[in-house]
């Protein structure tokens, strides 16, 4: 399908790590504000397929997504990168202002 061909052309970066005894995965991918329902569905299926062997506890993803905490056979904590990054930046600024 045209959507399958489009997803194969997208770039994905998967980073796996461990913090406080929990496996964590970061998914950074190219996406477009013009994605339709099929694009998001294929994106979700691709991410699930790639993360399945890793079984992460927490998954960070950039941008819009239709991922849910039920990620294939595993339940995960789903977090979006942008709000997490903003929170870290605000915490750093607040700490500097107090010094």
Q: Domain extents for the chain?
A: 2-98
Q: Classify the phi-psi angles of 9: left when phi > 0, otherwise alpha if psi is within -120 to 50, otherwise beta.
A: alpha
pLDDT above 90 for 10 = no
Confidence of residue 8 (pLDDT cuts 50, 70, 90): low
CA angle, corner 89, sides to 87 and 92, nearest 5? 110
Each residue's pLDDT tens digit, 11-31: 899 999 999 999 999 999 998
CB 66 within 8 A of CB 48: no
pLDDT of residue 2: 52
Rounded Cα distance, 50 and 3, in Å: 18
Q: Is the dihedral of CA 53, 54, 57, 59 positive or negative?
A: negative
Q: Which is higher by pLDDT, 94 or 23?
A: 23
Rounded Cα distance, 12 and 10, in Å: 7
Each residue's pLDDT tens digit, 27-38: 999 988 889 999
């Amino acid at each position: 399908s045209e959507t399958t061909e489009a997803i194969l052309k997208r770039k994905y970066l998967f980073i796996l790590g461990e913090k406080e005894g929990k496996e964590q995965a970061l998914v950074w991918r190219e996406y477009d504000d013009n994605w339709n329902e099929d694009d998001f569905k294929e994106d979700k299926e691709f991410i699930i397929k790639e993360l399945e062997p890793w079984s992460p506890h927490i998954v960070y993803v950039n941008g819009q997504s239709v991922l849910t905490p039920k990620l294939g056979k595993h339940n995960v904590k789903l977090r979006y990168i942008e709000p997490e990054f903003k929170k870290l930046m605000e915490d750093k600024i607040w700490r500097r202002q107090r010094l």
